Amino acid sequence: MPTLASTLRLALLLIFVVVVAWAEDSRSCPRNQTPCGGECCWQYEFCCDNRTCCRSDYICIEGGLCQARTVLRADAKKAESALGCSIDQKTCGYDCCNEGEVCCDYASGESFCCLKGRKCENGACRP
C-alpha cells in the first residue's frame, strides 16, 4: 500500500516531467509561432502534414506541399494581375512577390511566391 510520502514523491515527479516537457515544447518555437516538423510557422501560416509551413491562402496537398488556391480564386487573381505588381514587386504567375521572396513554379504550371527566407525546391517552398 503506497504511503503518503511515496504518493507525494510520485506527484512531484509527474509535475516536474510535465513542466520540463512544456518548457521543451515552448523553447522549440518563439511565442508567436507554432512548431511544424522541425520548423516554426508564423501566425499567417499553417502546418502542412507536419513537414512544412503553408501560407494561409494556400492549401496543403500530399507530401507536405503547399499549393496556391488558384482554382478558387483564379478570376480574382487574373484581375489583380491585369493591374500589375507594384514597382518594388516582381510578377510570379498571378502573384506579386515582395523583396526577398522567391517565385516558385509548381508542377501544375502555376507559380506562387515563397516567403522571405525560403527557397523553392521541386515546386514547393522549403526553409
Q: Report yes or no: 94 and 104 within 8 Å, Cβ to Cβ.
A: no
Domain of residue 55: give its range. Answer: 32-126
pLDDT at 60 over 70: yes
81 in the same domain as 113: yes
Calculate the average pLDDT of the chain: 74
102 in the same domain as 89: yes
pTM above 0.75, yes or no: no
Q: Which residue has the cell 508564423?
A: 42
CA-based torsion, 90, 95, 101, 105: positive or negative? negative
Please report the pLDDT score of residue 107 as a whole number: 64
Q: State the total domains in the chain.
A: 2
72 in the same domain as 16: no
Average pLDDT over residues 41-65: 84
97 in the same domain as 60: yes
